[in-house]
């Protein structure tokens, strides 16, 4: 296997077909990973005249661009191998990267779920109407005869109101 070397990002040409496959969420996850542990797997490029053409590692390249990096680790592969190389033939390094990315995605989903749960609870508490007990009798029911328009709140007020209206208490 060729030894990885550093390449200037601006010198790497990305084919149009590859650009269509960019997934921003994957770029974000890889950028977080690169910030945490650095670039673990080099990209693959091939020589085409005086320029480098990206063969594999689009999301790693875009993550490095997003982080403001000017160089990226990569290996030069012969054009013949680049055309016939299966995408997932890098072996344990790719599998380790895939496992790490799955772990990062799981952590992100758990964090988002916790935040959503917290915000949902805050929203429920803020919009929940205070609970009142159902009306049971004439004393508690302001629409009942003898209580019409009454704003009495204490027992002594109610007794006074009942005496004034001729009611029994």
Alpha carbon distances (Å) from 21 to 57, 71, 107, 109: 11, 22, 24, 23
Indicate the pTM of the whole model: 0.48
Judge contact between 9 and 71, C-beta under 8 A: yes
Number of other CB atoms surrounding residue 114 within 10 Å: 10
pLDDT 10s digits, 135-155: 555 555 555 555 555 554 788
Q: Could you tell me which residues come within 8 angstroms of residue 155 by beta carbon, excluding any fewer than 6 positions away?
A: none
Per-residue pLDDT tens for 70-119? 999 999 998 776 554 444 445 677 777 778 888 888 888 888 888 888 88
Name the phi and psi angles at 137, rounded to 5: -145, -170
């Amino acid at each position: 296997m060729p030894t990885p070397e550093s390449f200037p990002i601006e010198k790497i040409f990305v084919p149009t077909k590859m650009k269509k496959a960019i997934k921003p969420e994957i770029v974000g996850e890889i950028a977080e990973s690169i910030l945490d542990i650095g670039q673990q797997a080099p990209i693959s490029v091939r020589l085409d005249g005086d320029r480098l053409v990206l063969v594999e590692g689009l999301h790693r390249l875009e993550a490095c661009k997003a982080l403001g990096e000017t160089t990226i680790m990569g290996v030069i592969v012969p054009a013949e191998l680049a055309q016939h190389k299966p995408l997932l033939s890098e072996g344990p390094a790719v599998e380790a990267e895939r496992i790490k990315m799955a772990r990062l995605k799981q952590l992100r989903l758990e964090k988002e779920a916790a935040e959503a749960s917290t915000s949902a609870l805050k929203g429920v508490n803020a919009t929940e109407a205070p609970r009142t007990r159902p009306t049971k009798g004439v004393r508690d029911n302001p629409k009942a005869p003898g209580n019409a328009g009454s704003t009495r709140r204490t027992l002594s007020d109610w007794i006074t109101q009942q005496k004034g209206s001729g009611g029994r208490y």
